Amino acid sequence: MKKSSTCGFQPVSTPDFLPSNQLKQLQLQRLQGMVQRAYDHVALFRQRMTERGLTPADLQSLADITQLPFTTKADLRDTYPYGLFASPLRDIVRLHASTGTTGKPIVVAYTKQDLEVWQNVIMRSFAACGLHAGDIIQNAYGYGLFTGGLGVHFGAEALGATVVPISGGNTQRQLMLMKDFGSTAICCTPSYFLHIVERAPEFGLNWKDLSLRVGVFGAEPWTESMRRRIESESGIKAYDIYGLSEIIGPGVAMECECQAGPHIFEDWFYPEIIDLKTGKPLPDGEEGELVLTTLGKEAMPMIRYRTRDITALSSERCECGRTLRRIQRIGRRSDDMFIIRGVNVFPSQIETALLRVEGTLPHYQIILTRNKGLDEVEVQVEVTRELFADTVGAIEQLQRRLSQSVESLTGLRVNLRLVQPQTLQRSEGKAKRVIDQRKM
């Protein structure tokens, strides 16, 4: 791959390289402003500060942040729709909402300045993985209430790239335009990209004939082995972009060309790692729940938002020279974890196990059921062209190999069921990996 400059450095990336004392100074300044803003305009936050006997003036250093109360997803639900806004509606220029399947959605809001910040971090994200003006970015994130589509869109335009706003779905059209328009980059969920890869031969497409060289994948947890799979099957470079609507959308953190975990744009988002059980802060390098504080969000300041994503912060200097800390790639979320027969299992472990068996593209789903008080796990895996053999014996052997692989990695005996291709629910947003049908 040709690099336009040293590891994705473009003028827009300047804040990525701030010396750490300057960065800290900027963070404190912005944090103080943010806390004041939330205290002045968000009733719930002011009430929680008062309960703790705190005022914004108590925030003297970055370390003092640990005294502030957490914000959780439940707070967003409880104050639906506008309860956490710190700007009057006339200053709010955009609303997004979660695509959650149960109950009321979660609403997030942006002022003009918030959108500028968002654009800025998306530009820096693209620059970090070597994209620039002149690239043709096919944006297959869903457009609409979901933050993925529009978030990426305006950042890509601001960078000067050509955006193809195709949105999610219609795989045949994705492939056709990818070829005809000469797209050099694609943005979507990793599972949807694998689906595109899988369908390409049907439409007579050869990856060698395409100009695609970069994939910016996010909106769902994925594993390192999935990255390798994507890269070897399609020949592109796959980068992890991290974000969540509650904080801003995609662009909270992004990998550079070193592919060594996403760098957090710390000048706008302040990261902490806390112990899942005690809520106490953990030092860099230790794994726990990621907690984020927005440093420049006007419409909806988020103070110590509990992301439920499990990762560790790395302050080790990256080869690219960025001073921004990195998060370990997020393979799991604390609310994805399921407990079965007393064993804690993350979908990512099942995914890794399936990938270990040669020729499996990971379209899978985990179904939890309870039969006479006993928990059962069924892993459904779609049969692919590579997996399908014409004899019963060969397919049964494959079934055994897959279930043994899962058992050896998780210690869990599962019922492995092969299902017809393209029957499992496809994600154009986030893949639903676990279906819990147990009645507690």
Contact set with another protein (CB under 8 A): 202, 383-385, 387-392, 395-396, 399, 417-423
Instruction: State how far Cα 386 lies from the chain centre.
Output: 29
Cα distances from 96 to residues 83, 149, 201, in angstroms, run: 15, 11, 36
In angstroms, what is the minimal distance from the CB of 405 to another protein?
Answer: 18
The nearest distance, CB 174 to another protein, in angstroms, is 16
Q: How far is the CB of 381 from another protein (least distance, A)?
A: 11
> Minimal distance in Å, beta carbon 350 to another protein?
18
Closer CB to another protein, residue 248 or residue 418? Answer: 418
Nearer to another protein, 356 or 417 (CB): 417
- Are 405 and 413 in contact by the 8 Å Cβ rule? The answer is no
Report the greatest alpha carbon distance in the chain.
73
**Backbone dihedral region of 435: left (phi > 0), alpha (psi from -120 to 50 degrees) or beta?**
beta
| Phi, psi (rounded to 5 degrees) for 5 | -160, -175
**Least distance CB 391 / another protein (angstroms):** 6
Looking at the Cβ atoms of 131 and 431, the one nearer to another protein is: 431
Q: How far is the CB of 26 from another protein (least distance, A)?
A: 52
Complex with another protein: residue 81 or 421, whichever CB lies closer:
421
Distances (CA, A) of 367 to 316, 364, 380, 381, 434: 39, 10, 8, 11, 6
CA distances from 38 to 87, 136, 329 (A): 10, 39, 30
Q: What residues are paired with 179 via a beta bridge?
A: none
Q: Which is nearer to another protein, 197 or 273 (CB)?
A: 197
Identify which of residues 179 and 417 has a Cβ nearer to another protein in the complex.
Answer: 417
Of the pair 158, 419, the CB lying nearest another protein is at 419
3-state DSSP assignment of residue 254: strand
Question: Collapsing DSSP states into helix, strand and coil, what is residue 129?
Answer: coil
User: DSSP string spanning 181-218?
Assistant: TT--EEEE-HHHHHHHHHHGGGGT--GGG----EEEE-
Output the smallest distance, CB 361 to another protein, in A: 12
